[in-house]
């Protein structure tokens, strides 16, 4: 310790004691006087050095205590009590220690809480410093840009491949003004994000923090809604225009046209029926999608429903020259909303008849590949469905042959109703087909077993 207090005190004591001793030596030849002045000088130096060393030790202990104030892992030394100024400093440090400890604990808890919140957010969060190095990012952000190893401390340009995203963050850091933008990022599929970046000010430098909100699902919903409205208006427009046209014809003299007036009214009637069929199917679909029918669920006998549906369709089938064959149905039950289930089975048998050929056949089978599931298969020998359309026929208003569907009174909503109703019963529906040979629709549903009554 080159500059220690003890050393300095020793030098000062030597500097103070040495001149009087020298003066005594030079001014007198008395041995006693010389000895006395030497002893006095030595004592002065020794006492000064001892005092200074004790002071230095106490200061060292205070320094040691202050050094350990922020390190909670090591126990702090006990400070000696004394009544001088150093004692006051020791008491002040002892009072500060628990307050500081509490503050550090509070900050640590707050930091852990914030990290947990940011980490569990579904929105991506990214923070950078003034030099565009990443200081924080959560898992959602890593998912957005792809995992390129540890991100913190790494330059943003190495993590973000998208120049537009990099530019937004850079602009905020450079200008200090917030930015909002919609970006398309491949994550790895293309997703749309609303990015909101704001400056992050600290006393020394400016960084930025950006939030990435994935708007792909809401964009998709918007598109579905727009398509749906367009489809519905399109479906309504043709029958409405026909009704209007024929009504005008009747009003403008058609009523007197005895040969044709009945035909005109029949056309108006057929289009009216078509409109009400579309409205009924739309209502059914919205009820199923809204989940309103779930409350009325109960056990349903599969055999009862199939026999009822076959009975309802047989007259139409015999007019079309199609034979409906139902194999023996084992007694089994499913759970759900009966009307919707009936409607689904009727829709499938109805399609199998509608899209069949004269002298064609519809076959209905009920079987189970496992104890807890029931399969209902409806096969026909009809026109079949091209492979490319098979995945789309369950979409609303999707038809393979629009003209034929309209001609046979289809709304294009039948299979959507089937799909939604079956899914609501925790089941699935699949379609297989061979063009020109026929199609087979299979519904798979969980088997319902009645609870065993307690004895």
Report the interface residues with ligand ADP, using CB under 6 A.
Answer: 347, 351-352, 355, 380, 382-383, 385, 393, 398-401, 405, 410-416, 439
CB atoms within 10 A of CB 166: 15
φ, ψ of residue 278 in degrees (nearest 5): -60, -45
**Shortest Cβ 353–ligand ADP spacing (Å):** 8
Q: Which is nearer to ligand ADP, 207 or 382 (CB)?
A: 382
**Shortest Cβ 158–ligand ADP spacing (Å):** 51
CB-based burial, 311-326: b 16+ in 10 Å, e otherwise: eebeebbeebebebeb
Q: Which is nearer to ligand ADP, 191 or 419 (CB)?
A: 419
Q: Which is nearer to ligand ADP, 207 or 410 (CB)?
A: 410
Q: What is the DSSP letter of 329?
A: P
Q: Which is nearer to ligand ADP, 166 or 394 (CB)?
A: 394
**Shortest Cβ 189–ligand ADP spacing (Å):** 28
For 171, the token pair is: 């602009």
**Shortest Cβ 229–ligand ADP spacing (Å):** 19
String of DSSP letters for 22-86: HHHHHH---HHHHHHHHHHHHHHHHHHHHHHHHHHHHHHHHHHHHHTTT-TTSPPPPPPP-SSHH
**Shortest Cβ 252–ligand ADP spacing (Å):** 34
Q: How far apart are CA 91 and CA 89, in angstroms?
A: 5
Total count of residues recorded for the chain: 455
**Shortest Cβ 366–ligand ADP spacing (Å):** 18
**Shortest Cβ 316–ligand ADP spacing (Å):** 13
Q: Which is nearer to ligand ADP, 183 or 232 (CB)?
A: 232
Q: Which is nearer to ligand ADP, 138 or 347 (CB)?
A: 347
Chain centre distance of CA 217: 10
Q: Which is nearer to ligand ADP, 333 or 398 (CB)?
A: 398
Identify the CA nearest to 412 among candidates 387, 428, 426, 393: 393
For 42, the token pair is: 């030595």
3-state secondary structure at position 377:
strand
């Amino acid at each position: 310790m080159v500059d220690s207090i003890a050393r300095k005190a020793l030098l000062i004591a030597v500097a103070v004691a040495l001149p009087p001793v020298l003066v005594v030596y030079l001014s007198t030849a008395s041995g006693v006087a010389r000895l006395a002045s030497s002893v006095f000088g030595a004592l002065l130096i020794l006492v000064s050095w001892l005092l200074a060393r004790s002071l230095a030790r106490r200061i060292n202990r205070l320094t040691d205590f202050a050094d350990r104030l922020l390190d909670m892992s090591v126990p702090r030394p006990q400070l000696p009590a004394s009544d001088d100024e150093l004692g006051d400093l020791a008491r002040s440090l002892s009072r500060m220690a628990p307050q500081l400890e509490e503050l550090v604990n509070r900050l640590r808890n707050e930091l852990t809480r914030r990290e947990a919140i940011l980490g569990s957010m579904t929105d991506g969060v990214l923070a950078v410093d003034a030099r565009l190095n990443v200081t924080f990012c959560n898992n959602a952000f890593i998912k957005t840009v792809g995992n390129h190893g540890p991100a913190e401390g790494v330059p943003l340009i190495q993590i973000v491949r998208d120049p537009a995203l990099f530019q937004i963050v850079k602009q905020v850091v450079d200008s200090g003004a917030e930015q909002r933008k919609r970006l398309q990022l491949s994550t790895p599929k293309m997703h749309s994000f609303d990015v909101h970046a704001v400056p992050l000010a600290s006393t020394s430098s400016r960084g930025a923090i950006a939030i990435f909100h994935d708007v792909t699902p809401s964009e998709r919903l918007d598109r579905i809604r727009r398509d749906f409205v367009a489809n519905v208006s399109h479906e309504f427009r043709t029958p409405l225009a026909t009704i209007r046209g024929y009504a005008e014809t009747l009003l403008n003299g058609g009523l007197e046209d005895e040969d044709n007036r009945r035909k005109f009214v029949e056309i108006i009637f057929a289009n009216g029926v078509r409109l009400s069929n579309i409205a009924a199917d739309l209502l059914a679909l919205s009820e199923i999608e809204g989940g309103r029918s779930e409350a009325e669920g109960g056990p349903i006998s599969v055999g009862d429903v199939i026999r009822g549906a076959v009975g309802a369709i047989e007259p139409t089938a015999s007019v079309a020259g199609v034979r409906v064959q139902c194999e023996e149905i084992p007694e089994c039950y499913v759970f759900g909303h009966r009307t919707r289930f009936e409607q689904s089975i009727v829709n499938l048998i109805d399609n199998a008849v509608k899209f069949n050929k004269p002298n064609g056949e519809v076959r209905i089978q009920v079987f189970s590949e496992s104890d807890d599931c029931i399969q209902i298969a409806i096969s026909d020998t009809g026109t079949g469905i091209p492979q490319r359309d098979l995945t789309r026929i369950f979409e609303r208003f999707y038809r393979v042959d629009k003209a034929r569907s309209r001609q046979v009174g289809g709304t294009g909503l039948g299979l959507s109703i089937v799909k939604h109703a079956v899914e609501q019963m925790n089941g699935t529906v699949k379609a297989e087909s061979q063009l020109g040979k026929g199609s087979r629709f299979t519904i798979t549903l969980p088997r319902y077993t009645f609870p065993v009554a307690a004895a």
